[in-house]
Amino acid sequence: MQSIAKIVSLITLGLVALPCLLYFAGAIGIDAVKWTALAGTIGWFLSTPVWMSRKLSIDADEVEI
């Protein structure tokens, strides 16, 4: 189950990061980029909590800028 979730996370992260390169290259339109990024975002937040249950980092309550 966890390995499937990891693969889904990887694919969904790709949906966020890769279509913009196709848009940059002129292969797809901006609307396709926006909708795939949204689909990737939803998929990422559904699949990643299944496997990313790592221990909180030692500075999890620290403030970052």
Partner 1 sequence: MSEETSNSGGEFEREPVPDSALLGNGKFWGMYAGEHAAGTEFMIGPLFLAAGASLSDLLLGLLLGNLLAVVTWRFLVVPIAMAKRLTLYYQLERIAGGGLVKFYNVVNGLLFCFLAGAMVTVSASAVGVPFGIAFDVPSNFFGLSNPSFTALVAVVGVVIAIVAAGGYERVARVANIAAPWMIAVFAACGIVSLAQMEANSVAALTEGEFWSGAIATVQAHNGEQSFGFWQIVVFAWLCNGAMHFGMADLSIFRFARSKAAGWAPAIGMFLGHYMAWIAAALLLAALLKLQPSLAIMPVPEGDEDVGLPGTVVANPGQLAFHSLGWAGILCVVIAGWTTANPTIYRAGLAFQGVLPSRSRAAMTMVAGAIATIAGAFPNLSAQLLGFVGTYGTVLGPMGAVIFVDFYLMKTFGMQDEYADRSGARANIAVLIAWLLPVAVGLYLIFQQGLFAAYAVIPCWITCGVLYLVLSRLTQKASHRSEVNR
Q: Which residues bind partner 1 (CB under 8 A)?
A: 13, 16-17, 19-21, 23-26, 30, 33-35, 37-38, 40-41, 44-45, 48-49, 52, 54, 56-65
Q: What is the dihedral of CA 8, 12, 13, 16, to 10 degrees?
A: 180
| Cα 56 from Cα 34, distance rounded (Å) | 32
Q: At what angle do helices 30-51 and 2-17 cross, to 10 degrees?
A: 150
Q: How far is the CB of 17 from partner 1 (least distance, A)?
A: 4
Q: Whose Cβ is closer to partner 1: residue 4's or residue 21's?
A: 21
Q: How far is the CB of 9 from partner 1 (least distance, A)?
A: 8
